[in-house]
Amino acid sequence: MSDSDTLDPQIATMIAALDGGFPPVHTMTGDQARAAIRSRMVTVADPEPVASVEDRDIPGPDAPVTVRIYRPEAAAGKAVPTLVYAHGGGWVFCDLDSHDGLCRDFANRLPAVVVSVHYRRAAEEGQWPAAAEDVYAATIWAADRIAELGGDADALMVGGDSAGGNLAAVSALMARDRNGPRLAGQLLLYPVIAADFDTPSYRRFGRGYYNPLPALRWYWDQYVPNEADRTNPYASPLHAEDLSGLPPAVAVVAGHDPLRDEGIAYVEALQRAGVPVAQCYFEGGVHGFMTMPSLGICEKARAQACADLTGVISRRVTK
């Protein structure tokens, strides 16, 4: 059976158009890539309603960081979990607007207060570890204001997709290492975990599956240009010598993603360190499929990831 035979049927009908239409970001500057990606974004006329949406500037390591706070409709005045969320985009592009729909969905589906972080993006805005420090600063800010946000002090989590999954995993490491906020969980959606471009999944899916190898190399070149820094755990969490003491994780892995193998490797490394992990494996998925709400597999993955995350929180809170 070929790789294309195991693709989700809906994705199979559109993968050629998706892959062919992806801009050659590796030939661009960061600003050019951001403009190219933003030009493709379609504004949703009637976004999913939530109780409230608020943009706020909060203190950052070097300058204010903008966050967007979503409060769920189902909260009804009671404390709910809080998810500090980092969007994907190769550390270079995407923003609060590109992931607005996903954050609204998570806010209502969990339900939770979602704090979406507009971290500094590479390269013109800031290189490693700027984005990681911004997301960690937002995590501290949320922890300090958990009651004001309407959050449960025992249910603060970090999460993100792709490069944002990297930033979420790094924030969890920073919180442990720096005696920071006590986290109840981490949500890692097909995360970037290591700068290894020669895994079997890179070789199999680095062309033709919407997340091309030249772009993936370029993302790392923009964010962590010094290759020696790429083995630092705050850049590549898979290189951490010790993963014990981290919060329970829910990890979504897409079967047709160059990042598949590093995601699985991180799940296994966390498990060896005694960290509880729920792996949500979707063989038919490609990178980014959870931000494609028209797909049935997207709905299934969102539902499973949120259900598993709710289970993680419940077990943590009742201990």
Quick one: pLDDT at residue 185?
A: 98
- CA-to-CA distance for 268 and 69, rounded, in angstroms? 33
Contact 93, 64 (CB under 8 A): no
Quick one: pLDDT at residue 76?
A: 67
- Find, among 160, 62, 165, 76, the residue nearest to 115 by Cα: 160
Residue 307 has pLDDT above 70, yes or no: yes
Quick one: pLDDT at residue 143?
A: 98
Element (H, E) at 173: helix 163-177
The catalytic residues are 162, 257, 287
Tokens found for residue 199: 């895994």
Among the residue ranges 4-18, 99-113, 158-172, 230-244, the one predicted with the least confidence is: 4-18
Quick one: pLDDT at residue 44?
A: 85
Contact 33, 219 (CB under 8 A): no
The sign of the CA dihedral 156, 98, 278, 234 is negative
Quick one: pLDDT at residue 319?
A: 54
Domain ranges of the chain: 3-315
How many residues in the chain? 319
The pTM score is 0.97
Contact 164, 219 (CB under 8 A): no
Contact 186, 84 (CB under 8 A): no
**For residue range 147-157, what is the model confidence (pLDDT) as tens digits?**
999 999 999 99
pLDDT averaged over every residue in the chain: 95
Contact 156, 142 (CB under 8 A): yes
3-class secondary structure, 189 = strand
Pick the CATH number of 3-315 from 3.40.50.1820, 3.30.2130.10, 3.40.50.300, 3.40.228.10: 3.40.50.1820
Residue range 270-295: average pLDDT? 98
Element (H, E) at 311: helix 296-318
3-class secondary structure, 167 = helix
**For residue range 23-62, what is the model confidence (pLDDT) as tens digits?**
999 999 999 999 999 998 888 889 999 999 999 999 999 9
Quickly list DSSP for 215-229: HHHHHHHHH--SGGG
**For residue range 189-246, what is the model confidence (pLDDT) as tens digits?**
999 999 999 999 999 999 999 999 999 999 999 999 999 999 999 999 999 999 999 9
- Helix pair 100-109, 296-318: axis angle to 10 deg: 50
**For residue range 198-214, what is the model confidence (pLDDT) as tens digits?**
999 999 999 999 999 99
